[in-house]
Amino acid sequence: MRKAKTAGFTLSAVRWYFSEMETLHETIFQSAADLSCLDSESVDLVVTSPPYPMIEMWDGILGEQDRRIVDAIQDGDGFSAFELMHRILDKIWSECYRVLKAGAFACINIGDATRKIGQGFRLYTNHSRITSFCETISFQSLPAILWRKQTNAPNKFMGSGMLPSGAYITLEHEYILVFRKGGKRKFANHEKSRRQRSAFFWEERNVWFSDIWDFKGVRQSLGEKESRQRSAAFPFELAFRLINMYSMQEDTVLDPFVGTGTTTVAAMASGRNSYGVEIDVDLAAVIDSTVQTVAGSMNERQIQRLHGHTDFVKEYQENRQRKLGYLNKPHGFPVMTRQEINLSIPIVTRIHKTETAQFRVHHEQQNDSSVLTVETKGFAHKPQSASQLNLALSS
């Protein structure tokens, strides 16, 4: 291994210590019911959240895709409306299955719905309807995540108040259903180093792979009133975690209901390529504005991961009075397991908008920290704030 102790290394040595990569992010404006624009077995991960059947805000867009839905709701036939809405989604899950590679994951965020149609108030169990359909097309069900979305709204309880027995439980959670196309993903020899640099920290594993997530939902700034009403964006953190849990750097992530582009920006921040599909062409400007809005803070979550890890190391070593057993090579800090020694966090250095809602993103990451001084261990440029990253959104 080449060692360069001080300034004045040759260019090739510097290149060896740092590497660059480029990712592409494309949005396709059409219904995801037909993804023939994507090859079979070309996608490494699906992260998505569909319009939720039987939640009123989605009646319009689903009704436009099948007029019988509108008739069923008008006729007070909630169950037929529910089934017809899911038949639209079924086609999209089948397309996701086709485009996913063997062993790849699909993570679907969905909530159930409670609704009174005609005289009948009932629960519409979207999560179980999607699970049974996905199993019929050969997706393997894996343990799901409950995303707890607690509300303090005073009117959150429905029904007969304090009198038995006509009050209803408040739904304060959604699901993240996890499916896999067949058995475990196989990694070719040439993919092994990419898999190792895509590792996550031991302490992140302990939180991310728990079955209850309780981060708060986030609001995103949206340009257009109509689109905001229809957005229902999920939090950046939800997409970011799933992408880092179930894919490797430079993999391709698909969101067939990309909406405002949350999955796109989470893929950018994670060093993955992405495809987004969206039926509502008005959201093109919203996706551009999502990218524009978060461009300056694109690396904040990755920097937070590094700070979180150094805090963890300090606390662990102080409390246990012993050092962690391994040294991470790219960042130069101790880690808990051998699997984390090549973990390298990618940083976005430039975002280039090639067309509306299409982006080319440059990333940089460290291969070896032995070149760094003690003060800069963690990151070559030791970025503390977004402005220091010199991130430019150019078009």
- Footprint of ligand SAM (CB under 6 A): 31-33, 49-51, 61, 65, 231-234, 256-257, 259-260, 262, 277-280, 283
Q: How far is the CB of 273 from ligand SAM (least distance, A)?
A: 18
Q: With respect to ligand SAM, which residue has the nearer C-beta, 258 or 371?
A: 258
Instruction: Write down the least CB distance from residue 260 to ligand SAM, Å.
Output: 3
Q: How far is the CB of 297 from ligand SAM (least distance, A)?
A: 17
Amino acid 5 reads: K
Task: Label residue 394 exposed, middle or buried (CB < 10 Å: 0-12, 13-18, 19+).
Answer: exposed
Amino acid at 104: A
Question: Please, what is the minimum distance in Å from the beta carbon of residue 269 to ligand SAM?
Answer: 14
**Which residue has the closest beta carbon to ligand SAM?**
259
Compute the distance between CA of residue 155 and CA of residue 172 in angstroms, rounded to an integer. Answer: 13
| Min CB(276)–ligand SAM separation in Å | 9
**Given the complex with ligand SAM, which of 21 and 33 has the nearer CB atom?**
33
Q: Which is nearer to ligand SAM, 32 or 361 (CB)?
A: 32
Question: Between 92 and 372, whose beta carbon lies closer to ligand SAM?
Answer: 92
- Which one, of 302, 303, 311, 319, lies nearest residue 203 by Cα? 311
> Which CB atom, from 226 or from 315, has the smaller least distance to ligand SAM?
226
Q: What is the dihedral of CA 257, 134, 71, 167, to 10 degrees?
A: -90
* CA distance readout (Å), 240 to 32, 65, 172, 217, 369: 22, 30, 22, 14, 25
Cβ neighbours of residue 350 closer than 8 Å, sequence gap 6 or more? 361, 362, 391, 392, 394
H or E element in which residue 19 lies = strand 18-29
As a whole number of angstroms, the distance between CA 99 and CA 46 comes to: 9
Decide whether 27 or 349 has the Cβ nearer to ligand SAM.
Answer: 27
Cβ 209 to ligand SAM, closest distance in Å?
Answer: 22
Say how many C-beta atoms besides its own lie within 10 A of residue 144's C-beta. 17
